Structure 1
Amino acid sequence: MQVTVEKLVQGGSGFTRLDTNKSLFVDGALPGEVVEVSIDEEKKGYAKAHVVTILQASGDRVTPACPYFGVCGGCDLQHLDSSVQPSIKCQMVLENLQRIGGIKREDFLLEETAFDRPWAYRSRVRFHVDVAKRQIGFLAKKSNDLVPIEQCPILVDSLNELLAKKDRILAGARALMFSTRGKGTRYVEVNAFVGDKDVSLSDEVVTTVVDGHRFFVSANVFFQGNQFLLPAMASFVRSQVKGSTVMDLYSGVGTFSSFLAEEGRLLIAVERQKECLALAKRNVPSLEVYSDDVQLWARKQKRPVDTVVVDPPRTGLEEGLPSLIASWKAQRVIYVSCDSVTLARDLQRFAQQGYTVRSVKVFDLYPQTFHQEVAVVMDREELTL
């Protein structure tokens, strides 16, 4: 079957429509390309396919730099010129905001997309280890098989050095095999994070300085894996905060809180994970930390919040959270998202509470993949008249 690809969509697949108007998602295709495809899966409303032959290639198509591309499941876009990836991802975000969230492009300020180096940027990773075979790598594309690797071009040098020597990762995997965390899995998962002087494996704590702010971090807690762009994202969030009472929801180890802390400002961090909380207290000593259900905080405190910063996992916010935030009379909400699909859904819920999107900024934190980070600034209409 021959098709012409219209655009890239969430997940990194090319998109077009069949003569029946059914959506077709083509793995490995780029916008504007004419390709011969083979159908892999067909459902009532859509079909999935892969490229058999490229009949007319895009001018943005390049030769992937990694020999594991297409086999390893880590990267989606190495066949797309790195220089155009930020704009393509921005278009994905805008489309999701309009299609799912009903938010039109002309209704908000679109900030310039932020990006940095396209390779050797990632300082946080999860290795999969077959201890018996002494193999380390990542899971294969669309399967749970291990792809042993010798080097990954998106990892920073320290992680590739660790990968080449193997011994420390293998020792960490063997230790995890005898713990609860390592049981019942086909491969042992070893988390790694690069600090300024050392590499953390699992729960080892290291330090890293980001734009003058020192953080204590372990590989087992979340911390942004692209520290080249993290200062720009933190700076943007800081520049958008209003008022003297700020809540940092899903605060993690206090990444944003560290940048938002200032004299005269009450900063409340909400985080349930104990490992994160312990590190957050070290990273931002002035934090007022709350570890229970945030609804309980609202009942006890009954104080207004000027700005709420939310940085949830990929699944987005709990359904009732936008209305709860509105009950605090928060004038501004800054939503940092790693998934523009759940983001768009949640923005629609905020709209029902009287919040309007003022600005959107996309950060290309994950070059060579379809993933994007997005910061959205919202104000509540009734409080800004």
Structure 2
Amino acid sequence: MRIRGEIKELSADGLGVLERNNRAVYVPFTYPGDVVSVNKTRRRFGRRIATDFELLESSPLRQTSRCPHFGTCGGCLWQGLRYGEQLRFKAELFERITGISAPVKGSPNIWNFRNVSNFIVTTWGIGLKEYGDPLGVVELSECPVFSKRTSEYLRALRAFLSETGLKPWNLKKKAGDVHYLRVREGKFTGEVMVNLIAHTKPSEDVAEAFKDYFSFADSLYWSLKTDERDDPRGEPEIIGGEPFIRERIGDVTYLIHPNSFFQTNSYALGSLLKAVEGFTDGERVLDLYSGVGTFGVWLAKRGFEVEGVELNPFAVEMARKNVELNGVNARFRVGRAEETPIGDYDTVIVDPPRKGLREAAELLVKSGVERILYVSCNPKAFRLDYENHLRKAYRIEDTILIDMFPHTPHVEAVIWLERT
């Protein structure tokens, strides 16, 4: 069944919405003002998603995409949308979900800004996942969103595989040797970490070849993956170079390890840190879900007395290294956010996982703390936390949106909550 019409709006997850006979079809890589013909759809999560469609007339909001893989690669739904319009729609979608009208601060760089990329290595190709197809892989030649050096990294990988005879992962049969290549860059330090995620340990010859082909890397890891899940996770073992690379944001230096979570846009991270700093009040700060100390170390550098709580022991170890490296006054410990006694703090910062605070929200309500800064890239989770728990004791005082994710529908929010 062929459906033709104009895209009138965007869904909350950034897809173009085509209305026909009171039914909606969701069309990826399209924007308001586009006229499309949809030839084929499939049902996914209760919605009709277009899988075969033609763009008949282009919206005036469009721009020419920079990446030759745009339209098939799942990384950038909005690369065909002018950047100013991206920011406008991010604010609109955030307000639609949360009811909060807030300004958006754009990313200083919208190209080559990502400091990490996970290239999947499969029998069908090496690159990134295809949009909407769990088994589809885009054979990548470049990635202008990640790095100018993407083609260099991929050439080294393909040559390494060719020489060693290591087999790419077969997604269907769940068999093979090499599954992912994860590359991290310190955008402000120029340092590079290469981490190969494989299902086999390297022989001496293979390890030497790995070091030869990736001799440009400052840090070189081989991560052994012992499960069949399709994710870039394994137990890392250093093969060559330094155990960490560094990233420097303003006057703070952060150490990065293969298992570290670090915000993916180094250029916009400064804006995010300054937004948190601007909303922080008093002297004593509790940093819940503190990770490697991204917020806590930054605030400690500015004279705040910081205590961080994080469930992951390795992240706490990294946070302590970052404290020592920067010579600041901050303490980080292992603990569950929902079991943390909320003492006499002036400000509590929460940067929860995508599912939100849940039980920890009620703990904050009962704590009596005057100010909460809720940092999140998931507005739906914030809305549920606020409506179900936080609104009992807190009002929304102010919000700033930071575009950490150009060319996607996502945006990072810093929401200042004050006790009523």
TM-score, scaled relative to structure 1:
0.83
User: Are 1:91 and 2:120 an aligned pair?
Assistant: no
Which residue of structure 2 aligns with residue 7 of structure 1?
9
Which residue of structure 2 aligns with residue 180 of structure 1?
none
Question: 1:168 offset after TM fit, Å?
Answer: 9.5
Displacement over 4 Å in runs of 4+: 42-46, 167-171, 183-187
Out of 348, 366, 381, the position equivalent to 2:405 is 366
Which residue of structure 2 aligns with residue 141 of structure 1?
131
SS at match of 1:150: coil
Question: 1:241 offset after TM fit, Å?
Answer: 0.5
- Asked if the contact 1:193–1:218 (Cα under 8 Å) also holds between the matched residues in 2, the reply is no
Q: Which runs of 5+ in 1 are unaligned?
A: 178-182
Which structure is richer in relative contact order (CA contacts within 8 A, separation 6 or more)?
Answer: 1
Which residue of structure 2 aligns with residue 292 of structure 1?
335
Shift of the 263–150 alpha-carbon distance from structure 1 to 2, 3 Å rule, reads closer
Question: 1:353 offset after TM fit, Å?
Answer: 2.5
Which residue of structure 2 aligns with residue 226 of structure 1?
265
Question: 1:91 offset after TM fit, Å?
Answer: 1.1
Question: 1:237 offset after TM fit, Å?
Answer: 0.3
Which residue of structure 1 aligns with residue 346 of structure 2?
306
Which residue of structure 2 aligns with residue 155 of structure 1?
146
- Asked if the contact 2:41–2:52 (Cα under 8 Å) also holds between the matched residues in 1, the reply is no
- Asked if the contact 2:365–2:390 (Cα under 8 Å) also holds between the matched residues in 1, the reply is no
Question: 1:269 offset after TM fit, Å?
Answer: 0.7
- In structure 1, give the amino acid aligned to 2:360: L
Question: 1:295 offset after TM fit, Å?
Answer: 4.0
Shift of the 117–3 alpha-carbon distance from structure 1 to 2, 3 Å rule, reads same
Deviates more, 1:185-194 or 1:137-146: 185-194
Which residue of structure 1 aligns with residue 298 of structure 2?
259
Question: 1:231 offset after TM fit, Å?
Answer: 0.6
Which residue of structure 2 aligns with residue 199 of structure 1?
192
Shift of the 169–30 alpha-carbon distance from structure 1 to 2, 3 Å rule, reads farther
Which residue of structure 1 aligns with residue 38 of structure 2?
37
2-structure distance, mates of 1:37, 1:233: 39
SS at match of 1:336: strand
Deviates more, 1:242-251 or 1:223-232: 242-251
Question: 1:97 offset after TM fit, Å?
Answer: 0.8
- Asked if the contact 1:5–1:34 (Cα under 8 Å) also holds between the matched residues in 2, the reply is yes
Aligned residues: 359
Deviates more, 1:205-214 or 1:63-72: 63-72
- Asked if the contact 1:359–1:378 (Cα under 8 Å) also holds between the matched residues in 2, the reply is yes
Where does 1:47-126 land on structure 2 (aligned, <5 Å)? 47-50=48-51, 52-98=53-99, 105=101, 110-126=102-118
Shift of the 187–140 alpha-carbon distance from structure 1 to 2, 3 Å rule, reads farther
2-structure distance, mates of 1:380, 1:169: 58
Question: 1:280 offset after TM fit, Å?
Answer: 0.3
Identity %, equivalent residues:
26
Question: 1:56 offset after TM fit, Å?
Answer: 3.5
- In structure 1, give the amino acid aligned to 2:118: R
1-structure distance, mates of 2:29, 2:179: 30
- Asked if the contact 2:14–2:409 (Cα under 8 Å) also holds between the matched residues in 1, the reply is yes
- Measured on the aligned residues, the alpha-carbon RMSD in Å equals 3.0
User: Are 1:190 and 2:178 an aligned pair?
Assistant: no
2-structure distance, mates of 1:47, 1:186: 37
2-structure distance, mates of 1:137, 1:42: 26
- Asked if the contact 1:2–1:35 (Cα under 8 Å) also holds between the matched residues in 2, the reply is yes
2-structure distance, mates of 1:127, 1:36: 32
1-structure distance, mates of 2:294, 2:320: 11
2-structure distance, mates of 1:277, 1:294: 13
Out of 370, 376, 381, the position equivalent to 2:415 is 376
Deviates more, 1:275-284 or 1:75-84: 75-84
2-structure distance, mates of 1:337, 1:151: 30
Which residue of structure 1 aligns with residue 379 of structure 2?
340
- In structure 1, give the amino acid aligned to 2:90: K
Question: 1:257 offset after TM fit, Å?
Answer: 0.7
Question: 1:309 offset after TM fit, Å?
Answer: 0.9
- Asked if the contact 1:36–1:53 (Cα under 8 Å) also holds between the matched residues in 2, the reply is yes
Q: Deviations over 1:160-202 (max 9, x none)?
A: 432333279869x999x9xxxxx97896133321132421234
Q: Deviations over 1:80-120 (max 9, x none)?
A: 1223211111111111113xxxx5x4xxxx23433222211
